[in-house]
C-alpha cells in the first residue's frame, strides 16, 4: 500500500507523527489499533494492518457492539504501522490537529485474503483486543462521496450486545479541555469500562462428576505451569489391531494448555509460554467455562494440511493472514480430577462432550478405531502429513513410547543445525545450514545442508540462533562426500529444523532438501533421545486394486508429464543469462508447446460470471483467452516478480493491485524480496503456465511484471517509456512521439520496440542485455524524459501532475525503478472493451488507430496469423547503458578535438 498521501499531508518537522520508512516489526502478527482523535471533530480512527501499512477509517461515533447499529466509516489515507503506538497532541496548524489517544489495540485475523475482501466491498474479520472482540464487518456503501464510505458493524456472535465505544473509556487518556470544547466530548451517559469480559459457556454440566467416573481418575491440585507431553515414535506403517485408534497428524505446533481458576495458559512442547501470542486460543479455552483443566492439542492454520504449515508460520510472523485453530486430542485434568491414568478412549470420550459445542478456534480431533490402513490412505488423499496411532487402552505418559506411533506420508525429518556456509548474492547471515542427525557411534553425523525454503522471518530467527563461536573444524562426524565445505563454519548442535527431502544419497546425505520450518518447540537434546524418529524413508499408502491395475497403463502418461515438468522447471531454474534466452528469446519468436498438456488444466469456479459487462465477456472466456495466448504471454512474465490486478466483481467494479503472495495460491511461487521500508515480503512469481491460470482463477485480469528477474531483482533488463496522452492530444501525436523516442535512442545506438498499452497510449520498450543496476537505469530514464520535455515543452511533460498535462503527452519514466512494473505484452486490461496490450512491429504503427486497438478477440486472431513474434530477435540484442556512457564520452572528446 502506498503511504504517499500520508506523507504529502504532513510536515514532519512540525508534527511528532511517525514518518514512513521505518522497518516493520519482525516476527509479530498483524495488528489493529483504534485511536480516539479530537481533531476538528471528535471521532475514532479504526486501523487494520494489511501488508506494510495500516488501512484506516474515521468512525465518527466509534464501534458499536449492537449488530443492528451500522456506523459510518470514512476511508482515509493509509498510515505507517508504527503509527499504532502514537499518542499525544498533533499541532493545531497541522493536518488532523488535536489530541490522539489509544482506545484499543491487539491482533486481528481474517479467514481469506483481506485485500480481496476490501476490493469486493465486504471484509469479515475478528479482533482480539481488550475492548473489541469477536467478529466484525466492513461493508462499502454504494453512496457517491468524495472519500469512500463504509459501514462498520458487529457480527451476531457471543459478544454482541448494547455496549458503545464511549462506554469503554475508563483507561483512555483524556483530551485537553480545549480539544473537548472544540471537537466534542461524545456520549454523556456512559458506562466506565476498561475491557469486555470473555463470553463463557452457559452450560451447567457437572464436569467433576463425569471426570470422577473415569477409570484411574484421582483427585489432585492442578498447577498452571506447563506439563511434559507424550510423544510418538516414527513407524514404517500404521500398527494393526482394534486396540489402536488413529488420528490425523496435524501439520502445526504442539500446544499444551492449563486452565486454573478460569484463566488459560498455553505452552509449546518445550514449555515456552504462548498465552499472549495466540489470544484467540486463550480466549476460546476460557470460553469453555471450566475452572480447572489440562488439555493437549495442535495449533494449526487453515485445514492443518502440509500446505497450511506455511500459512501458520506466516500468520504468526505477520507475513500472512489466516485463521488459527487449536485442535484438541487429549484431556488430562478436569475440575479437580487428574485423568492421566485413565485409558485414552475414555479421556477422548469425555473431551468430545466438553467440546460438543466448541467456541470458535477450538476443534476436537476425531479418530478412526482399528483400521489404520484406511486412516492412513485417507490422510494422504487429503494432503495431511500422516497419522498418529495411539493405544486406546493406555494411560498418558510423558515422553516418547510405543503407545503412540506416527506414520508420515511425506518425507520429512528433524535435524540439528551444526554450522553454516557463507551467504551469497543478496542473502545475509548465512548461505545454507549444515545439518546433523544423532549417531550411536559418533554422537552426531553430518546429514547434508539446506539452503532453500527460507522466509525472511526464518532467516532472521535462524541467524539469531547461530552461535558466535563458530570454528573451521567440523563439530560432528563428517562421512566421505563430494561437497566442498572448506569455508564452512561449525559449532555444537544449536537448534532444530524440520526439512523436506527427496530421499537419501549415496553418501548418506539428504537429496534436494528444503526447509519446512524452524522448530522452536524442540531442542537438539530431543533428537538425541535414543527413541527419536530413526526411520528416514518416505512411507507410501498401500495401493488399491484399482490403482494396481492402472499402473502399467499410466507409465506413458507419467513419463510425458514428467518430461513437461522437467522442461518447465529447467526453463525457470537456469539463471540469469541462459534461461533469459531460453525462456524469453526463442519462446518469444515461436510459441511454446508445453502449455497444451494436462499440467495447465485447472478448476475454474464461477465460469459464467460476467467480467466485462459492456460486452458480456465471462470468466470462462477470459480463461480461454489466457489459455490460448499462453505461448506468447508466458515468456513475457516467467520468473519475474509480478503485480496483478484482480477484479473479483468484474472490470466495471473496484479492482485491486496485488503484489504479495497470499494463502490459497498453490502453484504460484513466492519469492522473498526486499521492500523500500527495509522489510522483506513474498512476491508473486509465475514459473509455469499453471501458475498463470491459477491467478486467472483468482480473478486476475492484468499482469504487470518487473523489469528484472526474481533471481536477480537489482539488475534491470528492460526500460519502458509509457507515453500517456493528456486531454486533447490526437492519436497521431502519440504515434509521432513514439517514433521520436525511437529516433533519439537510435542516436545513442540503442534498439527499441513498441506496443499498444491497451489504454490510451503506447509503450516504447528498450531491452538491456546483460543488464544494468536500477540506480543507473532510473536516472537515465528520468533524464531522458526531462530532456524530451525541455526540447518540446508544448508537446511533452515529465511530471505526473494532472494540471500540467492538458494537451501534452506525459513521458512516464516512473516504471523504471526497482519494484515498479508495466503491463505485460498480451495482458488484458480491466477496462471497457476488454482491450489487450499488444506488441507491434514499428512499420505497423501507422495502421493502429488507438492504444486499445486490440481486444480479447482480435488479439488472438492477430497472433494466429503471425508466423513470428512482432519483437523477434529482442533477446539477441546486446546493449546496456555503459555503452551509452562510452558513446557520449567519445562524442564529447571528438567535439573537443575539433575545437
- List the catalytic residues: 249
User: What whole-number distance in Å separates Cα of residue 804 and Cα of residue 796?
Assistant: 10
Is the preceding peptide bond at 770 cis, omega within 30 degrees of 0? yes
Q: Measured on CA atoms in the order 360, 123, 43, 2, is the torsion positive or negative?
A: positive
- Cα 590 to Cα 872: distance, rounded to the nearest angstrom: 9
**Whole-angstrom distance, CA of residue 358 vs CA of residue 347:** 17
d(CA 547, CA 380): 14
Closest C-alpha among 449, 456, 602, 559 to residue 511: 449
Long-range CB pairs of 457-461, under 8 A, 24+ apart, other chains included: 457/26, 457/27, 457/313, 457/317, 457/319, 458/313, 458/515, 458/517, 458/518, 459/427, 459/428, 459/429, 460/26, 460/27, 460/429, 461/27, 461/518, 461/520
Q: How far apart are CA 71 and CA 778, in angstroms?
A: 45
Helix runs in 466-573, H state only: 524-528, 545-550, 554-573
Q: Measured between alpha carbons, how far is 40 from 60 in angstroms, rounded to an integer? A: 11
Q: Give the H or E element holding residue 267.
A: strand 263-268
Alpha carbons 498 and 450: distance in angstroms, whole number: 10
Residues in a beta bridge with 537: none
Q: How many Cβ atoms sit within 10 Å of the Cβ of residue 811? A: 25
List helix spans (H) across 382-516: 456-465
Long-range contacts (CB closer than 8 Å, 24 or more residues apart) made by 863-872 = 863/629, 863/632, 863/826, 868/589, 868/590, 869/588, 869/589, 869/590, 869/632, 869/839, 870/753, 870/839, 870/840, 870/841, 870/844, 871/588, 871/753, 871/765, 871/825, 871/839, 872/588, 872/589
Query: Rounded distance, CA 756 to CA 5, Å?
Result: 30
The dihedral built from the CA positions of residue 486, 491, 493 and 494, taken in this order, carries a sign that is: negative
Taking the CA atoms of the chain, what radius of gyration do you get in angstroms?
31
CB 183 within 8 A of CB 40: yes
The answer to whether 775 touches 883, Cβ cutoff 8 Å, is no
CA distances from 9 to 41, 79, 472 (A): 18, 11, 55
Amino acid at each position: 500500500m502506498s503511504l504517499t498521501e500520508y506523507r504529502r499531508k504532513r510536515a514532519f518537522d512540525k508534527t511528532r507523527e511517525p514518518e514512513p520508512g521505518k522497518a516493520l516489526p519482525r516476527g509479530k502478527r498483524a495488528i489493529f489499533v483504534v485511536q480516539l482523535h479530537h481533531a476538528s471533530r471528535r471521532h475514532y480512527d479504526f486501523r487494520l494492518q494489511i501488508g506494510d501499512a495500516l488501512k484506516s477509517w474515521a468512525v465518527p461515533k466509534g464501534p458499536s457492539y449492537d449488530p443492528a447499529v451500522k456506523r459510518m466509516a470514512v476511508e482515509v489515507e493509509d498510515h505507517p504501522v508504527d503509527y499504532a503506538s502514537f499518542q499525544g497532541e498533533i499541532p493545531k496548524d497541522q493536518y488532523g490537529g488535536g489530541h490522539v489517544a489509544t482506545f484499543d489495540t491487539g491482533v486481528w485475523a481474517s479467514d481469506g485474503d483481506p485485500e480481496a475482501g476490501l476490493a469486493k466491498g465486504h471484509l469479515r474479520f475478528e479482533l482480539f483486543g481488550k475492548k473489541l472482540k469477536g467478529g466484525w464487518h466492513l461493508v462499502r456503501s454504494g453512496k457517491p462521496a468524495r472519500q469512500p464510505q463504509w459501514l462498520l458493524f458487529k457480527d451476531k456472535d457471543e459478544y454482541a450486545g448494547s455496549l458503545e465505544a464511549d462506554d469503554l473509556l475508563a483507561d483512555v487518556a483524556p483530551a485537553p479541555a480545549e480539544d473537548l470544547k472544540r471537537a466534542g466530548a461524545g456520549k454523556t451517559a456512559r458506562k466506565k469500562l476498561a475491557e469486555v469480559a470473555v463470553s463463557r459457556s452457559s452450560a451447567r454440566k457437572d464436569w467433576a462428576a463425569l471426570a470422577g467416573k473415569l477409570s484411574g481418575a484421582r483427585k489432585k491440585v492442578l498447577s498452571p505451569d506447563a506439563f511434559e507431553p507424550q510423544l510418538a515414535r516414527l513407524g514404517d506403517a500404521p500398527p494393526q489391531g482394534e486396540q489402536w485408534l488413529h488420528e490425523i497428524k496435524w501439520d502445526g505446533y504442539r500446544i499444551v494448555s492449563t486452565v486454573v481458576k478460569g484463566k488459560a495458559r498455553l505452552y509449546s512442547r518445550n514449555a515456552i509460554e504462548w498465552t499472549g501470542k495466540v489470544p484467540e486460543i486463550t480466549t476460546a479455552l476460557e470460553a469453555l467455562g471450566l475452572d480447572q483443566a489440562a488439555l493437549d492439542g495442535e495449533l494449526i492454520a487453515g485445514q492443518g494440511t502440509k500446505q497450511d504449515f506455511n500459512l501458520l508460520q506466516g500468520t504468526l510472523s505477520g507475513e500472512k493472514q489466516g485463521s488459527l485453530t487449536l485442535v484438541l486430542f487429549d484431556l488430562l485434568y478436569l475440575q479437580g480430577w487428574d485423568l492421566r491414568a485413565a485409558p485414552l478412549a475414555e479421556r477422548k470420550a469425555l473431551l468430545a462432550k466438553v467440546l460438543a459445542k466448541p467456541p470458535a478456534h477450538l476443534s476436537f480431533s476425531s479418530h478412526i478405531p482399528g483400521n489404520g490402513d484406511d486412516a492412513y490412505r485417507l490422510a494422504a488423499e487429503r494432503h495431511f502429513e500422516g497419522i498418529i496411532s495411539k493405544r486406546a487402552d493406555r494411560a498418558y505418559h510423558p515422553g516418547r513410547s510405543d503407545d503412540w506411533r506416527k506414520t508420515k506420508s511425506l518425507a520429512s525429518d528433524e535435524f540439528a543445525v551444526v554450522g553454516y556456509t557463507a551467504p551469497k548474492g543478496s542473502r545475509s547471515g548465512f548461505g545454507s545450514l549444515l545439518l546433523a542427525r544423532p549417531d550411536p557411534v559418533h554422537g552426531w553425523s553430518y546429514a547434508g545442508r539446506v539452503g532453500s525454503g527460507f522466509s525472511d522471518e526464518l532467516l532472521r530467527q535462524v541467524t539469531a540462533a547461530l552461535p558466535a563461536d563458530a570454528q573451521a573444524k567440523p563439530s560432528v562426524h563428517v562421512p566421505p562426500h563430494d561437497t566442498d565445505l572448506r569455508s564452512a563454519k561449525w559449532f555444537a548442535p544449536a537448534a532444530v529444523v524440520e526439512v523436506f527431502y527427496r530421499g537419501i544419497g549415496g553418501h548418506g546425505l539428504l537429496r534436494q532438501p528444503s526447509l519446512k520450518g524452524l522448530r522452536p518447540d524442540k531442542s537438539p537434546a530431543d533428537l538425541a533421545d535414543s527413541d527419536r524418529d530413526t526411520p528416514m524413508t518416505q512411507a507410501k499408502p498401500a495401493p488399491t486394486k484399482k490403482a494396481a491395475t492402472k499402473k502399467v497403463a499410466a507409465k506413458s502418461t507419467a513419463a510425458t508429464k514428467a518430461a513437461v515438468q522437467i522442461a518447465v522447471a529447467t526453463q525457470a531454474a537456469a539463471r540469469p543469462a541462459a534461461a533469459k534466452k531460453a525462456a524469453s528469446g526463442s519462446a518469444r519468436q515461436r510459441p511454446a508447446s508445453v502449455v497444451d498438456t494436462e499440467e495447465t488444466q485447472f478448476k475454474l469456479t464461477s465460469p459464467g460470471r460476467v467480467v466485462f459487462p459492456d460486452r458480456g465477456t465471462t470468466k470462462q472466456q477470459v480463461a480461454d483467452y489466457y489459455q490460448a495466448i499462453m505461448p506468447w504471454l508466458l515468456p513475457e512474465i516467467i520468473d519475474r516478480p509480478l503485480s496483478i490486478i484482480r477484479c473479483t466483481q468484474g472490470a466495471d467494479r473496484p479492482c485491486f493491485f496485488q503484489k504479495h503472495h497470499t494463502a490459497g495460491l498453490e502453484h504460484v511461487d513466492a519469492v522473498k524480496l526486499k521492500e523500500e521500508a527495509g522489510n522483506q515480503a513474498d512476491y508473486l512469481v509465475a514459473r509455469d503456465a499453471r501458475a498463470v491460470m491459477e491467478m486467472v482463477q483468482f480473478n486476475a485480469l492484468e499482469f504487470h511484471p518487473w523489469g528484472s528477474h526474481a533471481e536477480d531483482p537489482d539488475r534491470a533488463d528492460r526500460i519502458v517509456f509509457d507515453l500517456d496522452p493528456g486531454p486533447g492530444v490526437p492519436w497521431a501525436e502519440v504515434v509521432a512521439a513514439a517514433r521520436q523516442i525511437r529516433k533519439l535512442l537510435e542516436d545513442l545506438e540503442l534498439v527499441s520496440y513498441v506496443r499498444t498499452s491497451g489504454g490510451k497510449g503506447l509503450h516504447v520498450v528498450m531491452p538491456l542485455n546483460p543488464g544494468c543496476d536500477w540506480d543507473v537505469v532510473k536516472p537515465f530514464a528520468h533524464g531522458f524524459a526531462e530532456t524530451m520535455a525541455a526540447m518540446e515543452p508544448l508537446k511533452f511533460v515529465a511530471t505526473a501532475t494532472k494540471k500540467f498535462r492538458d494537451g501534452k503527452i506525459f513521458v512516464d519514466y516512473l516504471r523504471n525503478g526497482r519494484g515498479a512494473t508495466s503491463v505485460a505484452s498480451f495482458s488484458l486490461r480491466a477496462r471497457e472493451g476488454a482491450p489487450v496490450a499488444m506488441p507491434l512491429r514499428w512499420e505497423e504503427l501507422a495502421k493502429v488507430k488507438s492504444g486499445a486497438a486490440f481486444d480479447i478477440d482480435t488479439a488472438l486472431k492477430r497472433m494466429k496469423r503471425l508466423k513470428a513474434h512482432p519483437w523477434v530477435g529482442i533477446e539477441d540484442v546486446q546493449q546496456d547503458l555503459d555503452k551509452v556512457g562510452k558513446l557520449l564520452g567519445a562524442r564529447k572528446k571528438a567535439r573537443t578535438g575539433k575545437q
